[in-house]
Every structure is written in structure tokens, then in C-alpha cells.
Amino acid sequence: MSEQAAATFDGLGIDDRVRQALDDVGYETPSPIQAATIPPLMAGDDVVGLAQTGTGKTAAFAIPILSRLDASARKPQALVLAPTRELALQVSEAFGKYSAHMPDVKVLPIYGGQSYGVQLSGLRRGAQVIVGTPGRVIDHLDKGTLDISELSYLVLDEADEMLTMGFAEDVERILADTPDTKQVALFSATMPKAIGRLAKQYLKNPTEVSVESKTATAQNITQKYLQVSHQRKLDALTRVLEVETFDGMIVFVRTKQATEELAERLRARGFSAMAINGDLAQAQRERTINQLKSGSIDILVATDVAARGLDVDRISHVVNYDIPHDTESYVHRIGRTGRAGRSGTALLFVSPRERHLLRSIERATRQPLEEIDLPSVDDVNAQRKAKFADSITANLSSEHLDLFRGLVEKYARDNDVAMADIAAALALETRDGGFLMAPDPPKSERRERSERPERAPRGGGDFATYRIAVGRIHKVSPGAIVGAIANEGGLTRGDFGNISIRDDFSLVELPADLDNRTLDSLRDTRIGKHPIDIRRDQGPPRARGGGQYGRRREGGYAKRGAPKVAGRRRA
Ligand code: AMP
């Protein structure tokens, strides 16, 4: 990490309105990449950042840009290039969040697959921050609808991804259209040579920042992870809480707001949970920690800052509900359990996009994490039944039993009702009809629980083969195919299977359930000058051609003569 790394957001020259927005979203301290990047960017220097998604890199460049741009000038001042529509939208939402108190600042995402109308009116209204995918940015430059000749800030986000997706030429063209005076920030998860060359050619004496990871081992802590989408985390946590035997637990989240929200939701589900975050007065924080020590609460929902130095012996479990930004915080977080010679368990929730952070953690701690499945409905219900039986056993030794025994016996005699029925009716008083968890819809559970099979798109489901009308003779590369289709169709790289480039067409495996709107927008997509004319592939004709692709009756594609390729791989 850079020596100038900042421990707080104060004193960095961040615009007050941006600072306010950071408070609103509940960020307590800069993440390591932010601490290292914000100072040089605020000073006007170019930056090369080695940072993956999940490290907080978006705010690392958005905060300085918003702090320094001229909100009164209605022209593009900052351009962020991102490899996919999905990322462009995320980045532009993040800008929106951090500029919530800057009503004059307009942020506009421009990406393939969206109508030009919306983008044109956004550009005419004078957006200062443009977040776009390279292909669509070039389209606007060609049409003369986007003017970046007075740009002050250019960000290349996930630069390695842009290059692998075949956008090298587009990116360089865009760079060439911008003034020499602009400041450039380049972020990349990896640093292949091509990125080094790009940085060398287009960045001026850049400050290089990366998040160093410290090694640490924790032998008495069992480390596990659970793959779960963001939307299902709460459900996953409550299932874990029901099936795991734990004493005290800390659940880590990223923001102050999230501590309060999650603690509240856990309480609503019957768990004794409290929030601690950096906003709490010291006395209040201590009160809460004492409650955890004494066992009057079992679960603390905390931010990193609030849990710093926390030392409570009975913490048997740490749950990383939000994955930490860096491995150092991970090591610090899980060190809250396994205290005083006891053993501990650390569980990490990982969404599919965060898997690379999991790998960094495993590399840094030199310890593989064991994957566990989402506890099933059957597991949860078995626990509920067992706890029900336990509560009966416990109450049987109560001193108040005699009084109620008399009342129940009288009721049974008066009404001629079986004892089991009375017991069941009494159980209903404290537990309603929803005592058992309802079964999952089978498909979604399957998706959530299992690792994505190797030959299936990222979102689950199946691959199908599609045929596009560009091939070897058009000098097309797999990267260019992924780039064009991902951009215009709003897909991500995980949605691509095999790509097989033939002479005048190519076969591409994509999710089988692509809807018609996506296919329509893809049909107009071009690679270079050539329309890709995408269609579901019908396989080689059964005719004599010996497995060769020949002319098709339908649709009129594959008009340029049969290539000399036999057979094809099946998924
Ligand atoms: P990114 O790597 O930019 O995709 O950010 C990952 C996540 O971290 C996003 O959900 C951000 O809202 C969150 N985040 C970014 N900076 C901070 C911070 N300083 N404190 C807490 N959360 C943050």
C-alpha cells in the first residue's frame, strides 16, 4: 500500500457534499485501495491500481472525480470505460450515490443494447460524468453526439477485462480523442504485459497502488465458505443460525446502516442480536459488548471499525456476511473467534462475482476454505423438531408443572379429549402453524446450493449453440466476439461457453434461455463492419454433406458457401 495511505476520510480534501454522501451510505473508513488511491488522484496524478471487484475500487476513483469536477459546467468532464453493461450500470449507480448531495451533477450510463434516444437526451442535458462500454462510446463519437475533447478525467475500469474482450483498439481510439491534459486512472485485477504497455503509453508518471495482503494463520479456527447470491444472504444466515450450535457470534457487514438493518431483521426472526458500529458512543459500545459477554445477547452485527480489538471468549463463530475488502481485514475479523485457547468457526458468504476475493484470501492465509452447502429445509426442520423436544424435556422439571397438570387433567375429563391433542393445542399457543419451514421451490434451491456445473452459464440453466455470420475470413477473434455480444446483449463472460471460429461463421455457446429482446438487439450487432446476424444453431444438416455445414432453408444465413469443417463439439 502507498505510504500516504489514509486511515480516515478526513483531511483528504474530499468535497463536503461527497463526504456527507459517504456518511449517508455508512462508510466508516476508506478501504485500503481507497486509502492509497484517493490522495494521488486528489493531487491530480495519474494512477494505476491493481484492484479487483469488491475492494471498493469504484469509490476510489469516483470520490476524487466528484470532489474535483466543475458541477456548473454542463459538458462531459469524466469518462469511465467499463467492459460490460452490467459494470457500467453499477459504476454509474455508485456515482449517483456519492453525488446524492450534488444536484447539478448528472451521471449518464451509455452502453450497447439500450436505445440511443435515452442516451442522446442525457447527453444533450449536459451530463458531466459518462460511464460507458467502449463500443457504444465509439458509436457516439462517430455520430458526433459525444464530445470528449474537453475531458478532465478518464478511468479505465477492469482494464484487463476490456482487453480480453477485444476492446484494445476501441480503448486506444477513445484515448486518442481525449486531450493530453486529462488525468487517467487505470484499474485492473491483473497486470498482463498489454496493460503495462497501455499504461506506459497513455499515463503520465502514474502512481502505482495495490492492496498488499499480509499472511497470517489461525490454526484453531475452522474456515468455511458458502456461495450465496446477495439477495439470499439473509435467508442463508437465518438457516445457518438455526442449524449451527454456537455460543456467541459476530456477523460482519460493510456499513453502519447494514449493522442496524441486519440486527433488526435478526431480532424480528427471533434471534437476540445487537448492532455495533463506529457511530456508537464508547459507553454504549461497552454496554453492548458486555451484553454479549454475559450471554444476554448472542449475536453482534458489526463493522470492522467497531469490532477492532474486540476480545470476548465466548465468540465461537464469525460470519463474514459481506466479504471484506482485503485479506488483512479478513484475518482480523476471523481472529475475533478462537480466543483463549478455544476453537472457533469462521464462515464467509461469497457471491459468484466475489469468488476471486475468496481466492486471494486463500492465497494470503495459505489455507483453503471448505465449501459448505446452504442448510436445507430438512436440516432446519430437523433442528426445529429437536429443539421442540428439548423444550418439553426442560419444562418437565419445572416446579410449576403440578398446577398445570391438574388443570389439564380436569380439561381432559370434562371434555373427553386425548392428552396428546391437549398437548398439541398448548404447543400451538407459543408456536404458530408456520413452525416448520416451507419447502424451497426446487429449481432455485438447486441453483443456490450447488457449484455451477462447469458446462452451464453463470446464472444456471443450460447452454445452447448460436451461430453468427462472422468467421475466420473476417479476422474475428474470440475476444471480439465475447466483447460485442456481451456488450449489446447485456451478458457477462460467465455466460459464454465454447466459441468455435469457422471460415465464414462462428459457433458460440450462450445461455439457452436468451429472450427475444436480447436476440433482437444482438441481431443488429456488428463486429468490425460485419453484422453478426445471430441465430440459434440448428446443427449440421442431416444431408449427404457428411456433417458439413451447408446452406439452410430457413433464414438465409450461411450464404457464403460451406466451410470445410466437419462435425462439432456438443456441450
Ligand atoms: P467495488 O469494489 O467498487 O465494487 O465495491 C465493493 C463494495 O464495497 C460496494 O458494495 C461498496 O458499496 C462497498 N464499499 C466501498 N467502499 C467502502 C467503504 N469505504 N466502506 C464500506 N463499504 C465500502
Q: Following DSSP, what letter does each residue of 199-233 receive, concatenated?
A: HHHHSSSPEEEE--------TTEEEEEEE--GGGH
CA distances from 461 to 204, 383, 492, 569 (A): 46, 32, 15, 19
Whether the pLDDT of residue 36 is over 50: the answer is yes
Q: Is the dihedral of CA 114, 469, 460, 361 positive or negative?
A: negative
Cell of 71: 458541477
Q: Residue 461's pLDDT is what?
A: 65
Number of H helices, E strands in the chain: 21, 20
Report the nearest atom of ligand 1 relative to the CA of 255: 21
- Residue 140 vs residue 483, higher pLDDT: 140
Mean pLDDT, residues 152-160 taken together: 96
Best residue among 89, 254, 256 to mutate for probing ligand 1, ranked by most atoms within 8 Å of CB: 254
Cα 215 to ligand 1 centroid, rounded to whole Å:
23
Q: Buried (b) or exposed (e) across 542-569, using 16+ Cβ within 10 A?
A: eeeeeeebeeeeeeebbeeebbebeeee
Q: With cut-offs at 50, 70 and 90, classify the pLDDT of residue 35.
A: very high
pLDDT band at 365 (very low <50, low <70, confident <90, very high): confident
Nearest-atom index, ligand 1, CA of 31: 19
Cβ-contact 185, 40 below 8 angstroms = no
Q: Which residues line ligand 1 (CB under 6 A)?
A: 27, 30-31, 34, 53-59, 254-255
Q: For residues 372 and 356, what is the distance between their CA atoms, to the nearest angstrom?
A: 17
Atom of ligand 1 nearest to the CA of 58: 3
CB 58 within 8 A of CB 352: no
Write the residue with the smallest CA distance to atom 6 of ligand 1: 54
Mutate to test the pocket of ligand 1, among 24, 50, 58 (most ligand atoms within 8 A of CB): 58
Give the three-state DSSP class for 551.
coil
CB proximity list for 274: less than 8 A, separation 6 or greater:
263, 288, 291, 292, 297, 299, 300, 301
Helix (H/G/I), strand (E/B), else coil: 332? helix
Residue nearest atom 16 in ligand 1 by C-alpha distance: 56
Report the separation in Å between the CA atom of 304 and the middle of ligand 1, taken as the mean of its atom positions. Answer: 13
Ligand 1 center–CA 221 separation, angstroms: 27
Average pLDDT over the chain reads 85
User: Average pLDDT in the 477-483 region?
Assistant: 86
Burial (Cβ within 10 Å: 0-12, 13-18, ≥19) of residue 261: middle
| Residue 52 CA, closest ligand 1 atom number | 2
E strand residue ranges, 438-481: 463-468
- Strongest mean pLDDT among 202-206, 489-493, 510-514, 536-540: 202-206
pLDDT at position 490 is 75
Q: Supply the pLDDT for residue 455.
A: 47
Please give the domain boundaries of the chain with CATH numbers for all domains. 10-210 (3.40.50.300), 221-375 (3.40.50.300), 378-430 (no CATH), 453-544 (3.30.70.330)
How far is 555 from 505, CA to CA, in rounded Å?
15
Residue 131: strand pairing partners = 80, 109
Q: Which of 14, 18, 25, 27 to mutate to test the pocket of ligand 1 (most atoms within 8 A of CB)?
A: 27
User: d(Cα 74, Cα 123) in Å, to the nearest integer?
Assistant: 9
- The atom number, within ligand 1, closest to the CA of 54 reads 2
Calculate the CA 317 to chain-centre distance.
Answer: 24
Q: Which of 31-40, 183-192, 360-369, 399-408 has the lowest mean pLDDT?
A: 360-369
Q: Whose CA is nearest to atom 15 of ligand 1?
A: 56
Nearest CA to ligand 1 atom 21: 27
Confidence of residue 151 (pLDDT cuts 50, 70, 90): very high
- Of all atoms in ligand 1, which is nearest to the CA of residue 25? 12
DSSP 8-state assignment for residue 323: P
Of 289-293, 410-414, 540-544, 547-551, the one with minimum mean pLDDT is 547-551
Torsion sign (Cα): 384, 390, 393, 396:
negative
| Pair 536, 522: CB distance under 8 Å | no
| Residue with CA at minimum distance from ligand 1 atom 8 | 56
The span from the CA of 488 to the CA of 486, in Å, is 6
Mutate to test the pocket of ligand 1, among 19, 31, 37 (most ligand atoms within 8 A of CB): 31
Q: What angle do CA 446, 451, 452 make, to 5 degrees?
A: 85
For 29, the grid coordinates are 473508513
Ligand 1 atom 12 nearest Cα: 56
User: 323: CA distance to ligand 1 center in Å?
Assistant: 10
Which ligand 1 atom is at minimum distance from the Cα of 29?
19
Atom 11 of ligand 1 has which residue's CA nearest to it?
Answer: 56
Q: How far is the CA of 11 from the centre of ligand 1 (A)?
A: 20
CA 74 / ligand 1 centre spacing (Å):
28
Phi, psi angle pair for 466, to nearest 5°: -115, 155
State the pLDDT at residue 442.
61
pLDDT at 453: 37
d(CA 180, CA 149): 10
Q: Which atom of ligand 1 is nearest to the CA of 28?
A: 20
Identify the top-confidence range among 49-53, 132-136, 458-462: 132-136
| pLDDT (mean) for 539-561 | 40
Identify the pLDDT of residue 553.
32
> In 3-state terms, what secondary structure has residue 362?
helix
Distance between Cα 571 and ligand 1 center (Å): 37
What's the gap in Å between 502 CA and the centre of ligand 1? 43
What phi and psi values does residue 236 have, to the nearest 5 degrees?
-60, -45
Alpha-carbon distances, residue 264 vs 55, 101, 234, 269, 313 (angstroms)? 27, 28, 12, 9, 24
| 3-state secondary structure (DSSP) of residue 186 | strand
Residue with cell 491530480: 44
pLDDT tops 80 at residue 92:
yes
Tens-place pLDDT, residues 160-212:
989 988 899 999 999 999 999 999 999 998 888 899 999 999 999 999 998 75
Q: Which residue's CA is minimally distant from atom 1 of ligand 1?
A: 56
User: How far is the C-alpha of 405 from the C-alpha of 400, rounded, in Å?
Assistant: 9
What DSSP letter does each residue of 488-550 carry, written as one string? HHT--GGG---EEE-SS-EEEEEETT--HHHHHHHHT-EETTEE---EE---S-SSTTTTB--
What's the distance, Cα to Cα, between the start and end of the chain in Å? 44
CA distance 32 to 329: 10
Distance 55 CA to ligand 1 centre (A): 6
Q: Whose CA is nearest to atom 5 of ligand 1?
A: 56
Residue 97 CA: nearest ligand 1 atom is: 12
* Look-up of cell digits 495482503: 213
Does the pLDDT at position 39 exceed 70? Answer: yes
CA distances 494 to 165, 455, 520, 531, Å, are 12, 10, 21, 23
Residue 7 near residue 165 (C-beta atoms within 8 A): no
Distance from residue 289's CA to the centre of ligand 1 (Å)? 26
Atom of ligand 1 nearest to the CA of 303: 21
Task: Tell me how far the alpha carbon of residue 56 lies from the centroid of ligand 1, in angstroms.
Answer: 4
